[in-house]
Structure 1
Amino acid sequence: MLKPLAYASTGESRNPQVAKPYFISFRARTALSYGHSFVIFGKLDEHGRVPMDSHGVLRPDMAEIAGLHPATSSNVPYTIGHLLPVPSETGPSDGDSEQEYMTAQFTIPLTKAQYEDVAAYIHKRQKDSPVWHAVLYNCSGWIGEIAQHMGLKTPNSILFPKEYVEELKKMNT
């Protein structure tokens, strides 16, 4: 686990490629419902930014997407998931890689050691997050576990994704 606020400036070089060439970005995007929250993590581009192509689409050769959501694009499990837990997936969902759908983001530069720690934690969580529930275990709660692993303070996961990410950023900057 990372120490609380371990990503804060330590007086290292201001060049992100030297000091902290990796990142995690807690994000929220629009959806047909109240939105979706997820993380993008990987290596910063040559300008020290989250790697996007010229169309504002995430470069999959430099970053991964992880987020909790029902294991189908059908509305049926999503609707049932407001009453009962439903099977989940923890990879990307439609719209996660496109900048135009983002409503909030909180990006943290990471050292190689910090990145390796958080990436390993995310991959472990992807293997043992079998259900989604709109209130009890949702996408914001899932990314909140990642933030807590990093030593960050987290808001209540019942907030809508946009508000959750905005509050996460406010609590940790």
Structure 2
Amino acid sequence: MSLSLVRLAFVACLGITVAGCTSSAPDTVTSGDRISSASTFAAPAAFAPTDAATVARAKPYFVEFRARSAMSYGHTFAVFGELDQNGRVPTDASGVLIPGMTEITGLHPASTSNVPYTIGHVLPVPSETGPSDGDSENAYMTARYRIDLTEAQYRDLVAFIRKKQSSSPLWHAVLYNCSAYVGDIAEHLGLKTPNPMLFPKDYINELKALNT
């Protein structure tokens, strides 16, 4: 065998050896855990994922600022939680938010009576910072603006919301209303916020316009 053939055979064997050291298996990670557990993200699909699925893996959590109709001028609040596998806010077939994957926070008088609401247009009244009737149903929504979040951003946001809730803010129609409360959450995320005296639907639409 000539020297050139010996060299050619050696190079071919070397190429086979190097190729055998390169793994063709894709990187995999676990998925499905809630925010309270260890950090986990969705495993790569066997097919090219949709844009929504890609976003859901990179930013699997969200906060959505919402306005809904009411017998008065409406209500402003925020929904936050974990996106579903399609990168959407989790709702059931009736358009109702799925408990366990979503949570609602909003400022409103701490009563179902109209009396504290009426007094709150003159004097500050005790408030609640959780859901109110109709908040979980898409049928009553008049405006919305969603921000997708990484796990680190979501943890920081939840800590801020818990601090706001524990401070037991008073509700007042002018001095500190539901839109002002939502505005504090939006500002914590670095968003520009409109005048909280706007009607809820106008407030959310303006919030979106200022930050789009």
TM-score (norm 1): 0.91
Matched, 1:83 2:122: yes
User: Which residue does the alignment assign to 1:171?
Assistant: 210
- Secondary structure (helix, strand or coil) at the match of 1:96 reads coil
Structure number with the bigger relative contact order (C-alpha 8 A, sep ≥ 6) is: 1
Shift of residue 142 of structure 1?
0.2
Q: 5+ residue gaps in structure 1?
A: 1-12
CA distance, structure 1, for counterparts of residue 149 and residue 208 of structure 2: 16
CA distance, structure 2, for counterparts of residue 120 and residue 67 of structure 1: 15
User: Which residue does the alignment assign to 1:140?
Assistant: 179
Matched, 1:131 2:152: no
Q: Deviations over 1:4-59 (max 9, x none)?
A: xxxxxxxxx94122110000000000011000000000000111000000000000
User: Which residue does the alignment assign to 2:158?
Assistant: 119
User: Which residue does the alignment assign to 1:50?
Assistant: 89
Q: Please tell me whether Structure 1 or Structure 2 has the larger radius of gyration of its CA atoms.
A: 2
Identity, % of aligned pairs?
Answer: 66
| Structure having the larger proportion of residues in strand | 1
Structure 1 outlier segments of 4+, above 2 Å: none
- Secondary structure (helix, strand or coil) at the match of 1:50 reads coil
CA distance, structure 2, for counterparts of residue 129 and residue 150 of structure 1: 21
| Structure having the larger proportion of residues in helix | 2
Q: Amino acid of the residue matched to residue 65 of structure 1?
A: I
Matched ranges for 1:14-163 at <5 A: 14=51, 15-163=54-202
CA distance, structure 2, for counterparts of residue 33 and residue 78 of structure 1: 10
